[in-house]
Structures are given as structure tokens and as C-alpha cells.
Structure 1
Amino acid sequence: MLKTSQIQPQHLIIFTRYPEPGKTKTRLIPALGTLGAANLQREMTEYTISQVRELQKVVNVSVEVRFAGGDLQLMEEWLGCDLVYQPQGNGDLGSRIERSLYNAFQDHAQQVVIIGTDCPGLNSRILAQAFAQKDTVDLILGPAIDGGYYLIGLRRFIPELFVNIDWGTSQVLHQTVDIANRLNILYHHLSPLADVDRPEDLPIWQRIWETEVNMK
């Protein structure tokens, strides 16, 4: 767990993977090759971090990176030593999300938002919208067009949301909402966005990348 002093009442957790060729963005390897897929993982994570830094200019939020693959030294060499890193640990995605939420709330966070790095449409404005819900609902969901979610935010620990979910399928969001309804949890949906997971998704990232380059 983090030191309590590192946790703000509003806390953001980024799930990502170290960009090792052959072990990341594997569904894109047929289109990009192992190195190209790893480079895409690197670029998309760096873009997400840039949006988080923009968020921190307007919202007082602490940030933690939960990583898979690599190690602490490799993550610090890649993304810098000013971020807090924790390994995701074992288990399916639900177990890893649940663990990270439990740790954050144990460390006195009052609102925790978790995002991945697969959704380039997720920008600082949408992140700010998620944190703005802290006084209105217990659950915030960012629906992904493929049926999952690109963001989940809670203001209390609700482990039931991560049980009996078919992770990696188009049923994830629907099943999560069903659980929320069953538990009478107030929730809010953000704008739906597209993940970049398959070759046909690459134009989504290309548009974001070209916009970023043109703005520099």
C-alpha cells in the first residue's frame, strides 16, 4: 500500500503493462508486429499520463500506476520517478481492480477512479467529469463501445461489483450495471468511448496521435 501522505482524498489509479515486445497488445501483432504493438502500448500509456498531468492542473488528485510485466526500475526509467508504482499482482482483472481499490480506501482515499490506457478518447476533461461526481453517486462508469468499461470510479469499497463478471467479454458493463441495480447503488455513465484492441481500431489512435503532433 501507499504511504497515507501520498494519498489524496481523490485518487486515480492507472492500469497499464510494461511495453515488452510479444507480451503486450498481442491482438495487434498481426498488423503491427511485436515491436510495433509494444510501441503502440508505450505511446498510448504516455498519452494517458499526459492527460492525467493536465487533469492535475485543475483537480487535486494523487496518481498511482499499477503495472503488469517489467519491474519497478523499468517503470521508473520509462515513465519517471515522480509517479507511484505498484504491481497489479495475481488474479483476473476483477481481482486486481478490487485489490487496488481496497488498498486505496484503506489508505483513506474518499474517491477512487481507475482507468486503463487502451482508450485514447479518454482525456483530462472526461477525467475531471468523473471526479466531479464525488458528491452525487457511489459509482461512475465509462462505457466502452465493445461492452466493457474504460473507467470505474467509487467513493466506497464495493467488492460485489467484481464478482461473477465475464472479464474480457462484451458483457462486462451490462453485468456490472445489473449488480449495481441489485444493490441499489446510484451510478452515473460518462460518454461511451472506443478501445484500441484490434487492427480495425487503429484509425482511432491515428487520429488522436496526428492531433497531438499538430498541436506541438
Structure 2
Amino acid sequence: MKTKALLIFTRNPELGKVKTRLAKTIGDENALTVYKDLLLHTKNVTHAIDCDKFVFYDTAIINDDIWLDEFYIKKLQASGDLGDRMQQAFDSLFGMGYKHCVIVGSDLFDLRASQIEMAFKKLENNDAVLGPAEDGGYYLLGLNQSNKDVFQNKEWGTATVFEATVNDLEGKKVTLLETLNDIDTFEDLSRSDYNCSLFENKIKVKHN
């Protein structure tokens, strides 16, 4: 067992249940395509990072998918809101003996392995690492020990999450990574590296 653990939170890729805000513009099928591409990007970015890697599914573990057992350990997210689920995931891995734990979502075409590796490096001399998202949330959180405060009393999915988390880490040694764009809406998607040309005609038809 390594001392570093990467937690990847995912949603099961099901039609009509992922990227629902994006789907309002490009439709459920296209939103599912985008999310599957986001999952693939996240897998490609993370598979070679030197740490133990855990994929936490939201509803059910899928045995035969892109997350190969050779590289990823599969777990199911706990019940409760996002904060409850993240807290229990962190607690479980710290309980297993890991010293540095970093969580990322699966919503960023801008995510790179170097950012995750930098987060682990920063945890050697800091209590926490945060990767701010442009929408006011965060795309990455790294901790060296359990801290339930950062997971409680948050309005998840709003622009207040990053600031509230920083406030909860007052008195701790915290470092920030660069700000990235996570994908929730078509505007987010259009600012990313993703090729949106496939959806242009559908969007024009819907807006007319």
C-alpha cells in the first residue's frame, strides 16, 4: 500500500441522469456523450499517477468499464449529500492508513496529471490543498487528516462552496492550485478544450 490515495468521484453514466444542466441545451443523449468523454479524460489523466487510486461510484459499482482493476480500486459512495459522501470516503481511506488523500471530480477537460501530482507534493508541507473552480466551487481537495468541518454546512453546487471551505480551514496551512473550468453548462463546455461542433446544429434548432 502506498501512502498517497486519489479519490475520483463519478456518476454512473446513465441517460437523463448526468449533466442535466448541460442537457437543457444539447439534450440528454449529447450530455451523456460529453460525460462519458469526461470520464475517459479523467481516466487518461489519472491512470499513471504514482498513488493508489479509488473510483467512487454514485449508485452502483460497474465491473466491466474503463476503470480497469489493474489501476483502480472500486467503491460505492455512501449515502447523504455530497459533503457526507466525501467525508465518509476520506475517513475510510485515512482509516486504511493513507497519509495524503486528494479528491477530484470527473467534470474537467482542463484537468491534468501535473495538477494532481502538484497537490500531493504540496501536502508534504501543508495541511490542505484546494483547486478552485471558476463557478465558485472546487475541483480538487487534498487533506492530510480527516476534517469534517470542510464537508458540513455547504450549499453544494453553488458559488459559495470554495469560499466557505477556505473559511473552514482557517488556522490551517492551505495552498491553492490554479483555477479551472468544470463542465456544468454549455457555456462551460464552450470555454473548454472540447470540440462542440457536433452540437451546433442541435442548439440552433432548439433556440429557433
Q: If the length of structure 1 is used for normalisation, what is the TM-score?
A: 0.85
Please state if 1:143 is matched with 2:137. Answer: no
1:9 and 2:9 equivalent? no
**1:65 is matched by which residue type in structure 2?**
V
Once the two structures are superposed, the pairs formed by residues 46-125 of structure 1 within 5 Å of their partners are 46-54=40-48, 56=49, 60-69=50-59, 71-72=60-61, 74-82=62-70, 83-125=72-114
Aligned counterpart, 1:3: none
Task: Give, in whole Å, the separation in 1 of the partners of 2:30 and 2:186.
Answer: 12
Please, what TM-score do these two structures have when normalized by structure 2? 0.88
Partner letter of residue 16 of structure 2?
Answer: G
CA drift of 1:44 comes to: 0.3
Judged with a 3 Å threshold, the aligned counterparts in structure 2 of structure 1 residues 27 and 185 are, in CA distance, closer, same or farther, namely: same
Query: Of the candidates 150, 154, 157, which is equivalent to residue 165 of structure 1?
Result: 154
1:197 equivalent to 2:184? Answer yes
Q: Partner residue of 1:29?
A: 23
C-alpha deviation, 1:134, in angstroms: 2.3
**SS of residue paired to 2:134:** coil
Question: Any conservation in 2 of the 1:196–1:204 contact (CA below 8 Å)?
Answer: no
Shift of 1:89: 2.2
Contact 2:43-2:66 within 8 A present in 1 as well: no
Contact 2:78–2:89 (CA under 8 A) maintained in structure 1 = no
Asked if the contact 1:18/1:75 (under 8 Å) is kept, the reply is no
Give the CA deviation at 1:78. 4.1
Using the TM superposition, give the Cα deviation of residue 77 of structure 1 relative to its aligned residue in structure 2, in angstroms.
3.0
Letter in 1 for 2:187: E
Q: 1:186 Cα deviation (Å)?
A: 0.8
2:175 aligned partner, one-letter code: H
AA matched with 1:141:
L
CA distances 1:6-33 after superposition (whole Å, capped 9, x unpaired) = x420100000111100011111112221
RMSD (CA atoms)? 1.5
Higher helix share: 1
Give ranges in structure 2 of 5+ residues lacking alignment: 197-208
Distance change (3 Å), C-alpha of 1:163 and 1:19: same
Cα distance, 1:168 vs. partner? 1.1
- AA partner of residue 148 (structure 1): G
